[in-house]
Structures are given as structure tokens and as C-alpha cells.
Structure 1
């Protein structure tokens, strides 16, 4: 079985001949022998040297960005542009830190939506002396989100709904309006 690698061989950043005693440095057989190992090891060493780029969502290959999203527990919508997917993964920690707040909702929508986002809310807070009470029934909390995408029809309304549901406080009702 023969394995062929497309393209020219990847140069080794750490040639093995440099790590052998000096007596072998001039030996042509030793140079050719270690060069064969260098060709194989270069394909292993290069990704290890570049691991920082693989872990940076702004530099990583697209399929690796989806893998990083799984690390952070981020659900990416395939309809989002690649730049939005990368931005959500890059800011995952901050977005999770602000989750359940209006500031978090604003930030999450700003990262995902390419366009103008307007949020209006009922405001106010509810207080209880009991731990884990049910939300008060006499106060209505709501959020209205209006989105004006830069490119009409390029926005998945279902994806924006999913972002709103994930980022808003749990007990608050919401509505979404997409204005062309």
C-alpha cells in the first residue's frame, strides 16, 4: 500500500541530521537516511507547532471552528455566515458570562446579526423573599426585538429566534420582527 501526499514535501523545521553527532553531518548516507524521516515527521511536527492557530476561532479552518464550538457548548446555525460563526465561538466565554441579561442579549445579537438590531423591553425587576419563587403573575416582562438585516433575505429568522431564546432571561416572553 502506498500513501501519497499531494504537493511538495513539507520541510522539517527540526532536521534530524542537526541532532546527530558532527561526524554524521558530512555523511551523505546519514543525510539521505535522516531526510526520509524528516519528511514523515514534518507532517506531524507542523500541526503541533501551529496548534495556537487551530485553537483561535478567527484563524482555524472552518471545520475546526465547528469542533471548537462543541468544546464551548455553542450551537452554530449553518445559515450564519462563517464570520458570525467564528465571532460567536471567539466570544463564547463573554457571551455565556452575560447570558440571561439584556446586555448579553444585545451583545449576542450584535455578533450574529449583520444589520441593525433594536431591542425594547418592559424593564423593571421582581423581588421575592422566598428562594426560587415562581415569577410574579401580576407583572409582565417582555422583550421585543426588531432586526433590519443589511442584505434582505440573508437572515434566518429561526436562527435569530434560537439566539433570543438562549440569551434572554428565562421567564421573559419575547417577540421578533424582521424588517426588510
Structure 2
């Protein structure tokens, strides 16, 4: 939040709201000036609320707060541009969550643009009865191949956490990190 900014002027000084008869009281002027100093960050935040709620223009300390609103967990080590993109595209990514396209987009954002090749075992079934067996004879599986300029520089554990969060709970996965072009 915007707090303790020395010399921050109030956009609406309280003394200006009083009738002229009170302007000559020194104590009242000093008292209201102290209130103005305390209220200035609040009033300026409210005046700029649309800019604070837009991930493209929000101050960095508000960005994590906005991320919580849209259920995104950008890494603190990520550059601000990547964190802003994660918050900005959250609704579209949530819509695609659990799909190959959604997983590819999440991996692209996490790695800064790496190309993901995703192969699914396939198979669907629909039933009105609980406990209906899944199609096929083996567990549903996803193979994820990430083409990266330097696979050794990627946090594999973080990628595995991301894949686990993005795919359906009953689906297993294999992650392959492959050396490639510029990603």
C-alpha cells in the first residue's frame, strides 16, 4: 500500500473545506495539516484506483495483491513484465486450464517463451453413474517436451509443480527438457 511517503501532498486539503472564519485558527490549521498528511496516501490511492487495478499500470507492490485476486502465483524472482503478463492473462488461462493449450501457455509464461510439445494418451468417457472406469487399459498420461536454449538453467522442480497444478489430478506426466534454439 501507499504509506509513509514523506512530503506527499494531499489532493484535497481539509483546510480548504472549512468556512473562512476557521482559517485564522493556527491550531486547527496544524491539526488538519497532520490529518492531510495521514490521509494523502489513502486519497491518492483511491483517486488512482483504476490504474492500481490494471495489471499493466499497477505499482509492483499491488501486483502480488492483484495476482491473489485472480488466483495466480507469479514467482517473486520473475521480472515485473512477466509477472504483469501472468496476472493480465489469468482469466483466459483459467478458461483453458486442464487442456493441452492451457498447459503450453502456462509453461511458455513460466520459462519466458519456451516451446512446449505436449502429447496426451487420449480417451474420453461420459457417464451419469459415479465410479465409471476411465477409457483405455492404462492410466491417462501426458508427455511434455520443452525445447530450451539451456535446459540446465531451468528449475525442473518448479516446472513439475506447475504441470501437476495444470493437468487433471488423475493424469500422470513425463517431463523432458530438450536443448534447442532460442526457445
Q: 1:86 to 1:132 in 2, by over 3 A?
A: farther
Structure with bigger RCO (C-alpha 8 Å, 6+ apart): 1
Given that 1:121 and 1:143 are in contact with CA atoms closer than 8 Å, whether structure 2 keeps it comes out as yes
The residue that corresponds to 2:115 in the other structure is 116
Q: Is the counterpart of residue 168 in structure 1 residue 162 in structure 2?
A: no
The residue that corresponds to 2:9 in the other structure is 11
Deviation at 1:14, TM superposition (A): 0.7
Given that 2:124 and 2:134 are in contact with CA atoms closer than 8 Å, whether structure 1 keeps it comes out as no
The residue that corresponds to 2:55 in the other structure is 57
Q: 1:6 to 1:50 in 2, by over 3 A?
A: closer
Alignment of 1:38-117 (within 5 A): 38-78=36-76, 80-114=78-112, 115-117=114-116
Given that 1:148 and 1:179 are in contact with CA atoms closer than 8 Å, whether structure 2 keeps it comes out as yes
Given that 2:103 and 2:166 are in contact with CA atoms closer than 8 Å, whether structure 1 keeps it comes out as yes
Given that 1:72 and 1:89 are in contact with CA atoms closer than 8 Å, whether structure 2 keeps it comes out as yes
What TM-score, normalized to structure 1?
0.72
The residue that corresponds to 1:145 in the other structure is 144
Given that 2:121 and 2:141 are in contact with CA atoms closer than 8 Å, whether structure 1 keeps it comes out as yes
Given that 1:79 and 1:156 are in contact with CA atoms closer than 8 Å, whether structure 2 keeps it comes out as no
- 2-side partners of 1:139 and 1:32: how far apart? 78
Moved over 6 A (4+): none
Deviations 1:34-83 (A, max 9, x none): 44432232133222323334433344444443333334443444554443
Q: CA RMSD in A?
A: 3.2
- 2-side partners of 1:20 and 1:151: how far apart? 66
Given that 1:149 and 1:179 are in contact with CA atoms closer than 8 Å, whether structure 2 keeps it comes out as yes
Runs of 5+ consecutive residues of structure 1 not aligned to the other structure: none
